[in-house]
Structure 1
Amino acid sequence: MKAAKLTLFITSLVVLILFYVININTVSPITVTGNGNPFLLVAAPLLPLFILMVLLWGRILRVHSISKRFSIVGIILTFVHLMIAFIYQRVSLANYRDIIKDAYLEKYGKVDSQYIQDITTGISFHVNNQYFNVNTFFMFISFSIFIAFVFYLWGIHENKIENRDVQE
Structure 2
Amino acid sequence: MKAVKVTLCILTLIVFGLFMLGYWMTPAPGASSGNGNPALLILMGLIPLFIVMTVLWWTLLRRYSFQARTYCMSILLLLTHLAAALFYRHHSLEAYRGVIRQALLNRYGTWDEQYVQNITTGLSIHINHQNFNVNTFLLFLSAVLLAAIVFRILDRTAGRDS
Deviation at 1:42, TM superposition (A): 2.7
- State which structure, 1 or 2, has the greater radius of gyration over its C-alpha atoms: 1
1:76 corresponds to: 76
Deviation at 1:41, TM superposition (A): 1.3
Distance 2:34 2:25 in 1: 14
Task: Give CA-to-partner distance per residue, 1:22-42, whole Å, 9 cap, x none.
Answer: 101100011122342122113
Distance 2:101 2:153 in 1: 47
Task: Give CA-to-partner distance per residue, 1:108-132, whole Å, 9 cap, x none.
Answer: 1101010000000011110100000
Give the gaps of 5 or more residues in structure 1. 163-168
Task: Give CA-to-partner distance per residue, 1:25-72, whole Å, 9 cap, x none.
Answer: 100011122342122113321001000110011011110112211111
Give the gaps of 5 or more residues in structure 2. none
Distance 2:158 2:69 in 1: 16
Identity %: 43
Alignment of 1:3-152 (within 5 A): 3-152=3-152
User: What is the TM-score normalised by the length of structure 1?
Assistant: 0.92
User: What is the TM-score normalised by the length of structure 2?
Assistant: 0.95
CA RMSD after TM alignment: 1.4
Distance 1:152 1:42 in 2: 28
Which deviates the most, 35-44 or 10-19? 35-44
Distance 2:57 2:51 in 1: 10
Distance 2:83 2:42 in 1: 26
| Number of corresponding residues | 161
